[in-house]
Amino acid sequence: MKLPRNARIFQGQLDMAPFAGVVFLLLMFLLFGSAFVHTPGVRIDLPELTSPLPGPETPTVSVAVDRNGLIYFEHQVMTLIQAETQLLAGLTAAVKASPGQPLSLVLQADRRGRFDTALRVLNIAHAAGIKEAFFATRWGTMPSPTNAVVSP
């Protein structure tokens, strides 16, 4: 059985409404899919420095302190009272897990946070056996090359 062939090349004008609808829909997916996604975590506003500081050469363990005085260690949130036991146990276990090299503590403390909370965390780390501690900072804004003064 032979079927009749009646397909011809379309030579009329294309309707732009479906194309505009697809482009608008893709634009909505792009905007709402990327800009409004909640990034998990806690915002810590680190202080800025203009000159580089030396970093640790040994393995590190990080502890973060936010502006409300909450302490973050290994994806756990704790208050200062809980940190006396939980943070001490966690840091002691981290020190025992690296017997060959001493650990360094990197303290990520919010610049608007309380300094006494950071000092208590440093005391807990010292009690756990960590001998060296660093405060985490961000690089400051560097001067642009057009504004830099070059001396001969």
Model pLDDT, residue 90: 92
Q: Is the pTM of this model over 0.75?
A: no
Sketch out the chain's domains with CATH numbers: 48-139 (3.30.420.270)
How many contiguous H segments (helices) and E segments (strands) does the chain have?
4, 7
- Any residues with CB less than 8 A from the CB of 118 and at least 6 apart, and which? 65, 107, 109, 135
Residues 71, 136, 47, CA angle at the centre, nearest 5°?
95
- Please write the tens of the pLDDT for every residue from 52-107: 666 677 888 999 998 888 999 988 899 888 888 999 999 999 999 987 888 889 99
Model pLDDT, residue 36: 61
Band (149; pLDDT cuts 50, 70, 90): very low
- Please write the tens of the pLDDT for every residue from 91-147: 999 999 987 888 889 998 888 888 888 889 999 999 999 988 888 877 655 444 444
Distance in angstroms (rounded) separating the CA atoms of residues 108 and 47: 10
